[in-house]
Chain A
């Protein structure tokens, strides 16, 4: 590699260790991978240890410290992609390219693998090609893609329509109608002042849209009141656009349709808490949004809506975009902050919470994209206006990302309190067997629960709404989620690191026909253990989908159960296969029956 390329990347980021993620990403974009010499050079330039650089480079799925081909094709592997046939398509692509999933072709040209949900569930199956999103994959596209790869056509020259991403807004409400002109809410906010703005947010009853539903006013107040250890009293606003929960894609659409609403919400948050800097933490899967969002930021700076003296006031605020690199756990706010600081995304010990000790140990408010967009509306129209929508304790609107078995997948914005049944009717779902609300870490609802309402007081949701009809096998849904969590566990705490891996093995064991009642009992116990002892929400909720399906869709397990008591997890006869091959034996004594019949 030309060291000039790396030097210019390092210079652009002022050789700052906290900017390690961006340095690594840009280095990889330039070189195709992260060679050892580059890691050493980055360590020397930033003053980080080599081990620290390796630690970060090894943590994120989208960084690779070995070459993975000029073309890297990653198939989004959410259950919704599977339901749209991604596995057969991936096999077809591998066959066309003469390679095995997960392996780099012998000529070093291409590798094909899977990745966690890329947030294109309403237009899947989706792939990332060199981290650019392609939607609506089908057999024609697979064949054409294989030909382009074999002909070594640069991805930039591939058919433009492959990269088109639809918003699919089916029902707009408070936010998606976004009637605000850029700067309008900010003017109203500046007129009220930080404290006045906080009062409006409080009156509005705004709660966090990331799923937990914490009071936004309380969060901002705590951040505003916390003492900053920095000499300049620094505080930070972070917009959490690490939309990694499988089945969720509403932030993608908000950032596409109403980026001004989001950035203005961040600016207003800065005004409310007394911050001068904000970060948009954008998930790596949404890399394609980066240039457009940077352009919006530039336009807002030019219009005096960001920068040293906003709208002629003495309020200064600016926003940087930080791109993630494929780690679901970074949706957890303290893990996100670690990642912002250039480290592996491992959740911190809490307390202290980020509002008192966040980015660089300064008070930091981390808010969801939709929360900040809502705050912007509140600044413009007032808290009382906002509180008129939704229910008493869940005010405003909720944007749902609807996918799976329905006629019209896409984005649906409702006032809080809408029933699951209503959403199912609106999206054209028929013969529905189950709905996974708020993704794998959320709750799985069976038909007798469809009258329940999307609201913090009933079924809270971070936005995912995956529909499964009667043709679906809920065991396979849960198995897909079990593998997702095993892949995404950060590995920090014992129960999640090992528990998610054991759960995935249990599910594979049952899927392979080796399951027993004993395994089901083990799964229940594992759920209790992980819920009680895991370090963060990922581990605490990781067994939810298995637990929910076991309770509500038990027959999907029972029909696979081989024995009432105990079965080995592995195929005993297959475990003799290598020795059979080496000895050339195939006599009866060279085999073992798997069904152990006394």
Chain B
């Protein structure tokens, strides 16, 4: 097997293989590219655009853009982080994100990403949408106020659970998450707390009941160290194996 080729991420050499995206290559090398809708277990989606990078001068989504040897990729530059902060501002103002009362606080990817990028305010005027919660299911509640439309639950339910319980409906700013049942309520679907979709939500929409606020402040996932510190190099794949 030939030596892997490399591209430059913020000036550092990152190995890459054909078919690997910039995000996958960076992740494998233990480099953090901020992201929300990307998850290593699922096909890339490319909707949140938090993973914008500049590849050879062109602004692209790292999660869908193929890494090519010799490419120069800018990641944590002031320009890219500026874009990311604005995009985060947009995600915060389009929903109702009230962290102090959210069970997900401290374990929330959106919040942790905003911390990572030093986002101190929401910048834009709030939309304050009216989005009722769905507490019908015995084990899980849905708080749509916090949905960032990453479709991880859509993908998990479809691709792992084989149930297709979630979908996005509507268009533009009125786009919203729906549940596959005649009533539209989660209790009337075949959703189960053991579904992969029950644990994949990066924000506080899909919440397991009776476990909220169980972890004390200080011990939560992102209390001690920023989200960027989670990125670790993965062991090299065995000979001949394709990641």
Tell me the A residues contacting B by CB distance below 8 Å: 36, 40, 49-52, 54-55, 58-61, 327, 344, 349, 351, 486-495, 497-502, 505, 525, 529, 532-535, 569
Contacts and interface: CB of A to CB of B under 8 A. Distances in A.
B59 A533 contact: yes
Contacts of B170: 58-59, 491
Given A491-B174, A529-B83, A533-B87, 9 more contacts: A51-B165, A54-B169, A493-B46, A494-B87, A494-B91, A495-B49, A500-B172, A535-B46, A535-B47
Contacts of B49: 493-495, 533-535
Contacts of B213: none
Contacts of A54: 167, 169, 178
20 contacts: A50-B182, A51-B164, A51-B165, A54-B167, A55-B167, A58-B171, A59-B170, A327-B171, A344-B168, A349-B46, A349-B64, A491-B149, A495-B49, A495-B87, A498-B90, A499-B90, A500-B173, A529-B86, A529-B87, A532-B83
Contacts of A494: 47-50, 87, 90-91, 148
Contact of A59 (B61, B127, B171, B182): B171
A486 B91 contact: no
A487 B172 contact: yes
Contacts of B86: 525, 529
B46 A49 contact: no
A343 to B, nearest CB: 10
A315 B124 CA distance: 58
Contacts of B66: 351
8 A-B pairs with the lowest CB-CB distances in the bound complex, closest first: A491-B175, A51-B180, A498-B90, A51-B167, A58-B169, A489-B172, A501-B173, A532-B59
A50 B47 contact: no
Given A489-B173, A535-B49, A498 B83 contact: no
B74 interface: no
A380 to B, nearest CB: 40
B20 to A, nearest CB: 14
B171 A344 contact: yes
A487 B125 CA distance: 19
Interface residues of B, number: 41
A51 B64 contact: no
A40 B182 contact: yes
Given A36-B182, A493-B46, A535-B46, A55 B90 contact: no
Contacts of A499: 90
A505 to B, nearest CB: 7
Given A490-B171, A498-B173, A525-B86, A532 B52 contact: yes
Contacts of A36: 182
Q: Quick one: which of A49, A61, A486 has the most chain B CB within 10 A?
A: A49
A502 B164 contact: no
Contacts of A569: 125
A342 to B, nearest CB: 13
A217 to B, nearest CB: 26
B179 interface: yes
A489 B83 CA distance: 20
B93 to A, nearest CB: 7
A505 B125 CA distance: 9
A65 B181 CA distance: 15
A559 to B, nearest CB: 23
Contacts of B91: 494, 498
B182 to A, nearest CB: 6
A486 B171 CA distance: 10
Contacts of A488: 171-172
Contact of B172 (A50, A60, A501, A505): A501
Nearest to B48: A494
A529 B45 CA distance: 20
A23 to B, nearest CB: 17
A349 B44 contact: yes
Contacts of B171: 58-61, 327, 344, 488-491
Contact of B127 (A52, A501, A525): A501
Contacts of A486: 172-173
A59 B169 contact: yes
A533 to B, nearest CB: 5
B4 to A, nearest CB: 22
A221 to B, nearest CB: 22
A404 B179 CA distance: 45
B166 interface: yes
A477 to B, nearest CB: 21
Nearest to A65: B169
Contacts of B81: none
Given A55-B168, A490-B172, A50 B48 contact: no
Interface string B172-190: 1111001111100000000
A494 B175 CA distance: 11
Nearest to A37: B182
A49 B190 CA distance: 12
A55 B93 contact: no
Nearest to B89: A498
Nearest to B79: A532
